[in-house]
Structure 1
C-alpha cells in the first residue's frame, strides 16, 4: 500500500459522504467540528474540557472558542471538575441536548441512506472491512490511552455476553450458568427497554470495546439497577471502571431515580472498591451456591438524593 492509495480512498469516501449531505444540511447551523463536540458531550453526562480536547485532538484555543460560543448560546454550562477543581467540567443544557439530538438524527438519516445503496448480502463484508480499518489505524490511539464511552453498536450486546462469560470463567472459575444469566439480562434489555430510563455504555479504546456497564429499572419504584460492570484486564488501572460507574450514577440521577442498587459477590474486590469510592453502601449479604462456586452475594445501595459524589 502507498500514500497515494490512502489518499485515493480518502477522496472516494469523502465524496460519497458529501454527495449524501447536500449544502451541509446535516451540520447546519454548526461546523463539522462543532457538531463533533456536541456529539461527544451528548454521550456522557459531562466531560472535562481537557478530556474533550484530547478525545477530539483539538487545539486548546480552538476548543475554547467553540465552548464560549456554545455557552453564549445556552447550549452548555461549565463548572469545576468533580475529579480536579483545577479542571473545567462541561455539561450540555436541555437546549444543548436538543441540538445534539437533531444532529444525531440527521447523521442517522445520512448513514441510513448510504446503507440503502448496499445490498443486504454485502453489508457483513462492508462491516468487516470497516472493523479492519479501525483495528489497524486505531492502534496508536489505543496506545495513547484515549477511551470513549458510547452507546452500543450492533454486535456489542453479544460482546458483553461473551466477555463476561469468558473473563469470569478465566478469573474465578465460574461455569456456564453465569453466561446464561448474562445472556438473559442482555436479551431482556435488547427486546424491551425504555431508552429514556435505561441505558448501556460501552468503553472503547483503539476501535475496540474494553469495558461496559448497564443501567436498568428495578422492581422497586424510583430505583435503578447497575448491572454487568466489566473492564478488560489489559485496560484496568486507568480509571475506566470509575468512569463507567460515574456515567450510571449521573444518568440515574439525571432522569429522576431516587436510588441506585446493585448485586455483586464478595470475591469481586476490585469492583467493590469502585462502588465504595462512589458512595455505595453495603445493605445485605448472604451465602449462596451459584455458577459452580460457593459465594457470598452482596446488595449495595446508593441514595441518589443524599449523595453528592
Structure 2
C-alpha cells in the first residue's frame, strides 16, 4: 500500500463523516424505503440503454449476490424487465419499465430539490467556488485509467505572472535548495516582460491541466535576430504529460514565425529534465561556466538553436 500521511487519512475520514451526515446517507434514502444503492441502480437503468447485470456489478462496484437480490425485488414489483440482447441470444439485458420510471421520477426530483436546498445555505457568490472545488476533487480522485486530462496552452492574464514567480521560488527552493535571490531574479524577468512587452516579437504561455495552472514559458527579444527562451517551469504533478516539450515547441514555432534566426537560453547543468528537452529539440550547448548563485555552487550553461 502506498505511504500516506496519517493526518491526511484522518482529514479525509472526517470529511466523509461530515458529508454523509449532511446529505442524509446514514438514514433511508430521501426518507423513503429505498437504500442509496437501490436508487443508484434505478438511476443507471433510467439513464442508459438496456444493460447486463454484470455491467452494473462492474460500474457500481457491487457484490453480484447483493445486486441479484435488488434486481429480484425490482422485477417482482414490475419495475424492470429482461430482454434478449440483440447481439447475443444467450445474454439478457435489463431495462426500466413504465412503472419503474414512475417510481424513479419522484425520487430524482426529490434528490434535486434537496440538493438545491443544501446549496441554498451557501452564499450565492460563494457557490461557484464550491462547485469548482467539488469538480477538482472529482478529477483528482477519478481512477487514472478513466481520467482524460484537459491540457491547454493559453496567453498570460493578470495574476499569472505572480503565480510564475511564486512557483519558481517554491519549486527551486524545495528541489534544488535555491535561496530567495532566485525568486528576485524571476520577479525581475517577469516585470521586464510586462513593462517592455512587444506582442509582435514576444510571447508567453501558461499551461493548464484540468483548468489548473501547471506550467509556463516565455519568449523574449534579445536582439533583432536572436530570441531568448525564459522561465520554463512545470509543477511536479504535471510532469510526464509531455508539457515541457509542448511549451518549448511553442516557443520555437513563434520564434521562427517572428523572423528570428536563433533561439538561446540560459540554464544550469543540474536541471537534467529541462536539458533533455532542449537537446531533443536540437539545441546545442555552447558554453558552460562554474559560478556561485542563489546560495549554491552551480554550473551555468548557454544553449542555442539555429532557426
TM-score, normalization by structure 1: 0.55
Q: Which residue of 2 aligns with 1:137?
A: 135
Secondary structure (helix, strand or coil) at the match of 1:257 reads: coil
Tell me how far 1:138 sits from its aligned partner.
5.0
**What residue is the counterpart of 1:187 in the other structure?**
191
Aligned partner of residue 144 in structure 1, secondary structure = coil
Q: Are residue 234 (structure 1) and residue 237 (structure 2) matched?
A: yes
Q: Which has the larger radius of gyration?
A: 2
> What secondary structure, in the 3-state scheme, does the structure 1 residue paired with 2:264 have?
strand
User: How large is the Cα RMSD of the aligned pairs?
Assistant: 2.2
Alpha-carbon distance in structure 2 between the residues aligned to 1:151 and 1:208: 14
Question: What is the deviation of 1:208?
Answer: 0.9
Structure 2 residue 156 is the aligned partner of structure 1 residue 152:
yes
CA shift, 1:132, in A, is 5.3
2:213 corresponds to which residue? 209
CA distance in 2, matches of 1:140, 1:303: 45
2:173 is paired with a residue of what secondary structure?
A: helix
Return closer, same or farther for 1:288/1:250 CA change in 2, 3 Å cut-off: same
Paired with 1:264 and 1:130, the residues of 2 have a C-alpha distance of 40
Query: 1:211 aligns to what SS in structure 2?
Result: strand
* 2: CA distance, partners of 1:217 / 1:135: 39
Structure 2 CA distance for aligned equivalents of residues 186 and 152 of structure 1: 11
Shift of 1:301: 0.2
Aligned counterpart, 1:225: 228
Q: Deviations over 1:87-109 (max 9, x none)?
A: xxxxxxxxxxxxxxxxxxxxxxx
**Unpaired stretches in structure 2, ≥5 consecutive residues:** 1-21, 24-123, 141-146
How far is the alpha carbon of 1:130 from its aligned partner? 5.2
Counterpart CA distance in 1 for 2:287 and 2:241 is 30
Q: How far apart are 1:136 and its partner, in Å?
A: 3.4
Consecutive aligned runs of 4 or more in structure 1 exceeding 3 Å deviation: 128-136, 138-143
Task: Give the Å deviation of 1:144.
Answer: 1.9
* Residues 138/298 of structure 1: CA separation in 2 closer, same or farther (3 Å cut): same
Question: Aligned in 2, Cα 1:141/1:252: closer, same or farther, shift over 3 Å?
Answer: farther
Q: Distance in 1 between matches of 2:185 and 2:294?
A: 9
- Structure 2 CA distance for aligned equivalents of residues 209 and 262 of structure 1: 23
CA offsets 1:162-184 (integer angstroms, 9 cap, x no match): 00000000000000010000000
Select the structure with the greater relative contact order (CA < 8 A; seq sep ≥ 6). Answer: 1
Q: Does 1:176 align with 2:174?
A: no
Q: Residues of 1 paired with 2:269 and 2:161: CA distance?
A: 26
> Is the 1:134–1:207 contact (alpha carbons within 8 Å) kept by the matching residues of 2?
no
Quote how far apart the aligned CAs of 1:137 are: 2.8
Judged with a 3 Å threshold, the aligned counterparts in structure 2 of structure 1 residues 246 and 134 are, in CA distance, closer, same or farther, namely: farther
The runs of 5 or more residues in structure 1 that have no matched partner are 3-124, 305-309
CA distance in 1, matches of 2:127, 2:194: 26
Indicate yes or no: 2:255 matched with 1:252.
yes
Contact 1:141 1:205 in 2 (8 A): no
Find out whether 1:196 has 2:200 as its counterpart: yes
Q: Provide Cα deviations, 1:228-265, integer angstroms capped at 9, x if missing partner.
A: 10011111011000000000000110111110000000
- In structure 2, distance between residues paired with 1:145 and 1:204: 10
Kindly provide the CA deviation profile for residues 207-245 of structure 1, in whole angstroms up to 9, marking residues without a partner as x: 110010000001x33110000100111110110000000
Residues 144/180 of structure 1: CA separation in 2 closer, same or farther (3 Å cut): same
Per the alignment, do residues 204 and 148 of structure 1 end up closer, same or farther by CA in structure 2, a change over 3 Å counting?
same
Does the 8 A contact of 2:150 with 2:211 survive in 1? no
Alignment match, 2:290: 287
The alpha-carbon distance between structure 1 residues 129 and 297, as it changes in their structure 2 partners (threshold 3 A), is: farther
Which residue matches 1:261?
A: 264
